Copies of this chain bind each other. A is one copy, B any other.
């Protein structure tokens, strides 16, 4: 499993035709794709194979899995049987839960979600650090770290070095609740030590003068090319 860098596209587009169209358009510019629970609840895990048919980059199921080890194992097995290349689990799932998933995933990706991009989530830095240490101890693939929490990517990079992949969320346009906000600039988390920047809304719902997801992805790709 090679360690690359670049854009992890958060494809939170509910409507299937639009989803497939956007993924096709942006695929030359992204390194991985992340599918979240909203899409799985609408389409089931079968959507993974439909995306796999049109791209060859890794598809990560962002489950934020938080279940008992036996159930975590059953869910991971279902995901793998549907063609997933990796999953994201919640840090609070704990050691036994992660091991249960790893036994099914083998060399596929397992990322540990540490904390939210917004300040309202109830996971503080101390708890997030505990999840990072657990991910190191269990030799997970990587950790998800918010770019919106100042200094966190740098801090975590110092802890994990090159042992874990850092995927960083909260880049570009965010929709916290009803209003849109702007997170750190594209490229800034990579400069701080992240390996992948999770970019969603800025690509699938670009703002004028950017006219399409394809153009947005190309611009993001150009922006980070020199950093990588």
Seen from chain A, the residues whose Cβ lies within 8 Å of a Cβ on chain B are: 12, 14, 36-38, 40-45, 63-71, 73-75, 78-79, 90-97, 100, 113, 116-118, 120-123, 127, 130-131, 134, 174-178
Looking at the assembled complex, report how far the CB atom of A145 sits from the nearest CB atom of chain B, in whole angstroms.
15
Per assembly, the copies of the chain total 2
| Pair A93/B121 contact, Cβ less than 8 Å | yes
Nearest CB in chain B to that of A45: its residue: B41
| Pair B38/A78 contact, Cβ less than 8 Å | yes
Which residue from B12, B68, B120 sits with its C-beta under 8 Å from A117? B68
Which chain B residues lie closer than 8 Å to A44 at the CB level? Answer: 40-44
Which chain B residues lie closer than 8 Å to A41 at the CB level? Answer: 40, 44-45, 75, 78-79
Which chain B residues lie closer than 8 Å to A40 at the CB level? Answer: 40-41, 44
| Pair A92/B70 contact, Cβ less than 8 Å | no
Please provide the 6 A-B residue pairs with the shortest distance between their CB atoms, ordered closest to farther: A96-B120, A44-B44, A70-B175, A94-B120, A69-B177, A94-B121
Looking at the assembled complex, report how far the CB atom of A96 sits from the nearest CB atom of chain B, in whole angstroms.
4
| Pair B92/A121 contact, Cβ less than 8 Å | yes
| Pair A66/B69 contact, Cβ less than 8 Å | no
Q: How far is the CA of A203 from the CA of B176 in the complex (A)?
A: 41
Nearest CB in chain B to that of A74: its residue: B38
Nearest CB in chain B to that of A200: its residue: B71
Q: How far is the CA of A92 from the CA of B78 in the complex (A)?
A: 26
Q: How far is the CA of A117 from the CA of B71 in the complex (A)?
A: 13
Which residue from B91, B120, B127 sits with its C-beta under 8 Å from A97? B120
Which chain B residues lie closer than 8 Å to A91 at the CB level? Answer: 122
Q: How far is the CA of A67 from the CA of B45 in the complex (A)?
A: 19
Q: How far is the CA of A123 from the CA of B67 in the complex (A)?
A: 12
Q: Kindly list 16 other residue pairs between chains A and B, CB separation below 8 angstroms, not including A38-B74, A68-B174, A94-B121.
A: A37-B63, A38-B71, A40-B40, A43-B44, A44-B44, A68-B117, A68-B121, A69-B177, A70-B176, A91-B122, A92-B121, A92-B123, A93-B122, A94-B116, A95-B120, A127-B127
